[in-house]
């Protein structure tokens, strides 16, 4: 999440409701980071994201110094885009990977996990007055479930269907999980 645009940029560009969608990320910065890592530059810095404040932490970075293995997670890892008509090379995030893994589950299971996570966060992290989501801390179980389902349907399900599921066949390895989080199938 460190490569998300800061909330100030997302608000200015009208992208707050699409936070977590591919267009909400600073793709050139992510590509530059991966290029520097792959080239062996040292150290390389990545922005830091706070799940508490739901934003990039200004002037804070994590240093990565020539790792043997680097795990990159997110909606952009297997994305492709329109190829340019002039035939010029266009880098994709996946161009920098030696191996990719897609963790899969059926949509009703993902929805259930999302609601469970929302309810758990309501009772924990959302209670912190500094939390961006503090406004949800006092919701009843019914209200919180309704809010979680609304967020799932209006944002997360759309992102899943439009941006995440279409990338599944591009993964090297697909692990399909059941509702108990046990891996049920492995496709290489």
Indicate whether 72 and 105 sit together in one domain: no
pTM, full prediction: 0.90
CB-CB neighbours of 147 under 10 Å: 16
Domain boundary residue, one of 21, 42, 76: 76
Indicate whether 113 and 176 sit together in one domain: yes
Residue 125 tokens, joined: 């992290």
Distance separating alpha carbons of residues 11 and 65, to the nearest angstrom: 33
Residue 165 tokens, joined: 């599921």
Indicate whether 176 and 106 sit together in one domain: yes
Distance separating alpha carbons of residues 173 and 101, to the nearest angstrom: 5
Indicate whether 70 and 148 sit together in one domain: no
Indicate whether 71 and 35 sit together in one domain: yes
SS3 state at 78: coil
Q: Total domain count for the chain?
A: 2
Q: What is the pLDDT of residues 162-180, one digit of tens each?
A: 999 999 999 999 999 999 9
State which residues form the domain around 114: 101-187
Distance separating alpha carbons of residues 176 and 168, to the nearest angstrom: 11
- Does residue 2 lie within any of the structural domains? no
Q: What mean pLDDT comes out for the span 133-155?
A: 97
Indicate whether 179 and 118 sit together in one domain: yes
Indicate whether 65 and 129 sit together in one domain: no
Q: What is the pLDDT of residues 18-61, one digit of tens each?
A: 999 999 999 999 999 999 999 999 999 999 999 999 999 999 99
- Does residue 81 lie within any of the structural domains? no
């Amino acid at each position: 999440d460190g490569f998300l645009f800061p909330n100030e940029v997302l608000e200015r560009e009208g992208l707050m409701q699409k936070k977590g969608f591919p267009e909400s990320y600073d793709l050139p910065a992510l590509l530059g980071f991966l290029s520097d890592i792959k080239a062996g530059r040292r150290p390389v810095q990545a922005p830091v994201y706070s799940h508490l404040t739901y934003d990039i932490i200004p002037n804070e970075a994590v240093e990565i110094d020539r790792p043997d293995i680097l795990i990159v997670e997110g909606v952009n890892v297997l994305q492709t885009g329109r190829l340019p008509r002039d035939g010029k090379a266009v880098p994709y995030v996946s161009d920098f990977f030696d191996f990719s893994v897609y963790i899969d589950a059926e949509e009703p299971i993902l929805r259930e996990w999302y609601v469970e996570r929302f309810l758990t966060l309501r009772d924990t992290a959302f209670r912190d007055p500094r939390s961006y989501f503090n406004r949800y801390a006092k919701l009843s179980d019914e209200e919180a479930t309704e809010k979680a389902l609304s967020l799932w349907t209006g944002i997360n399900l759309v992102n899943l269907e439009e941006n995440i599921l279409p990338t599944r066949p591009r993964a090297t390895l697909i692990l399909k999980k059941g509702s108990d989080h046990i891996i049920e199938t492995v496709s290489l």
